[in-house]
Each structure stands twice: as C-alpha cells, then as structure tokens.
Amino acid sequence: MATDAVGNVPIAFWNQFKRYSFTELNTIPQGSIVVIGATFEGSNIVSTPMGAMYPHDVQANLIKTMIDGVVLKRPSEFIFYEVLTSFVLCVIILALLGWANIRISGMIFCVSLLGIYFFTTDVFATYYYMVDPVFPIITLILVFAHGSFVQFYTQFKQKQMIKGQFGTYLSPDMVDMLAKDPSLMKLGGERKEMTFLFMDICGFTPISEHYKNRDDAEGLVTLINNYLNEMTKIILNNGGTIDKYMGDCIMAFWNAPLPCENHAEMAVKSAIEIEEKTNELRQRYSEQGLPPINVGTGINTGTCIVGNMGSESRFDYSVIGDAVNLAARLEATAARGDYLDHKTIYSSYTMEQLTNIKSRSIGKIKVKGKDEEIDIYTMDR
C-alpha cells in the first residue's frame, strides 16, 4: 500500500458498512471482516473529511481502502501548481477589474470559482488526485473583493470630482451624463470647434447709481444675482457650459465638455431667449422704479483650445483662442453706439452654421486685434 511522504496512508472515507449489535453476531455473513467498536453515548469520535466518525469507522475505511487498492495521490508539486494557478487567475481578475466593468469581471470571477470546483472534483473522482480547491478559491474571493472595492471607490471619487468640477458649469442632467460616462469628456487641452457667447448688462451704471444713492449695496447684489440666475438657466437648458461670471457679464460656450453638433444654433437660441427674458425683467424692474435695463450678446464660432487650465494648485475648465476673443469683441459692440438696436451680434462663422434661424447682415466692423473687417449678423425677426 502506497504511503505519503511521512508514512501515512490516505484513507477513502466514502465507504458504507453494515452495522451489527453484539446481539446479532450470529447473523454476520461468513468471511466478513469484523471491526469492533463502542457506539454508546459518550464514546470517542474522530474528525474526518466526511464528518465525525467513530474510531472503528476510520479503521474500517482504512481496511476497505487497502482492499480496493484505492490510492489517493497528492504529489508535492501540486502546491506549486495551486499557487501558480491562483496567481494567474488573480492577475486576470485584477486586469479585468481595471479594463472591464464590474459585471463582466464578476461573471469571469464566478466562472473561475466554478471551474476550480468542478476541475478538482472531477480529477479526484476520476484519478484520485487530491487537488486543493480551498486556497485558490479563498485567494480569488479576497482579491476580487479588494479589487472590486478599489474599482468602486475610484469610480466614486471620479464621479465626485466631475460633479464638483462641472456642477457649477453644466446643467444637472449633463453632469449626471458625465458622471455615468466620463469618456464623454476629455480632460486636459484639446483643440476643437466651438461656439462662444458673451452676455453683458447694458445700462448697468444707472442701476448701480440708483442703489448707491439709497445706500443699498445688498439690494444691487441681489438684483444682479437674480438676473444672472435667470440667464444662467437659459444657457444651461440649451446645453451650454458656463465658463465664468465677470461682474455683470457671463461667458459661456457649447460643444465641450459634452459634444453638441448644433452648437452655433443653441448659442443663438440662447441669445434670443436672453433678450426675451430681459424684456420681461425690464418691465418688472420698471414697476419697482428702477432704470431700464438692456443686454448685449456677442457670439462667435471657431476653433480654440479647451481643457483644464491654471496652476498645479488651482485650475479651471476653460477655453482660450482667437475665436473666443472675437466673441468678446462682438459683445462689446452689441446694443451700443451704431448698433444700439441690435442686442445680439454674431459673426459670419456662426451664421454659416445656422439652419433653423434666419439671419440678416448688419454690416462690417473692424475689431481690435483683427486687420480685416468682420461681417456681422443678427436674427431676422
């Protein structure tokens, strides 16, 4: 009978035996091997892979194992194979957690556990090789639990970062879209075509003087905040991104960080709604005895650099480029001087991309920083 490295005989404990009491000894078949043991309450029991047994049950299983010639084998190199298999499967699971979503990783994890269990069971039942499934299974469970937690925590922090960074720039729905699929945005600098909108309150000085004469600085701040809040809602509802507030001016852009195919259309649509809202507020402010308020909006479409800009300690998601500057110059022209009646002015670059909004030319202007004149337009209403 083969023994293991320390002289022990591996026992097959799955055998079943007939049991007789001392009063039934005469009924035992001739030629039987009889193992005698106590089974009364309080008798000694032994732990085995098949559960608790009496010592004579262990002896009976040993005898049966030797008679059947069953040799349970566990070569010393099995430890190496079990560790190697555990390592390879853990690396695969970690790679999947970093590459795929938790559902795919979880499916591969479950398949791995079932594969280990059925493989070790089949090898044992067919060849009597004792391959330990416990170490690989426990190792996989620990690695998957740790890896999935790290993945969940990383995604959670990423979503919190996105919400914190873009919560004041975008509408809540757009922020949720970014949080669910961060691949929709590309952080860092990238060059792309966008549409830019600058909006400024015209006639702000008389309003400021009105509140100054009444020594009501808080009232002025409340008025401006309420006005900008209404304009911000319009921009966000049209898919725009608020870049910054500069006093009573708003800078916004379209087509970043989320793509917007009709960015020029949405920017001009926002300007139309801003004019309409301003007319409504002008009436309300007039009833409060405030001076009239107007708005000037400049829009331009062009290529710029968009991304996180600033220092290592503090940065903002913003845009830079000549196309941005031109939008600012057009805003400084709108509702002023010769263009007093034109609350919204946009360039030919924007006009060329409008499909549902009719435009009319209002002339050419030469803006600071440009050698050639710029064709400018407004809505044809």
Dump the DSSP string for 146-159: HHHHHHHHHHHHHH
Flag the least confident range among 97-111, 167-181, 195-209, 337-351.
167-181
User: Which residue is associated with the tokens 């194992």?
Assistant: 65
231-287 per-position pLDDT tens digit: 999 999 999 999 899 988 999 999 988 889 999 999 999 999 999 999 999 999 888
Q: What is the pLDDT of residue 141?
A: 95
User: Which string of b and e fits 330-347 if b means at least 16 CB within 10 Å?
Assistant: bbbbbbeeebeebbbbbb
Give pLDDT, residue 182. Answer: 67
d(CA 106, CA 85): 18
- The pLDDT mean for the chain works out to 87
User: How far is 6 from 211, CA to CA, in rounded Å?
Assistant: 98
**Of residues 140 and 310, more confidently modeled:** 140
Q: What pLDDT, on a 0 to 100 scale, did the predictor assign at position 107? A: 92
Encoding tokens for residue 291? 């001076």
| Cα–Cα distances in angstroms (integers) from residue 27 to residues 20, 30, 140, 366, in the given order | 8, 9, 53, 120
**What is the pTM for the complete model shown?**
0.60
Per DSSP, what are the bridge partners of residue 202? 294
Pair 293, 186: CB distance under 8 Å: no
109 burial (CB, 10 Å; 0-12 / 13-18 / 19+) is buried
Radius of gyration of the chain (CA): 40
| Selection from 10-19, 36-45, 201-210, 295-304 with the highest mean pLDDT | 295-304
What is the model's pLDDT at position 16?
A: 87
- For residue 176, the model assigns a pLDDT of 73
Kindly tell me if the per-residue pLDDT of 312 is higher than 90. no
**Alpha carbon 58 to chain centroid distance?**
57
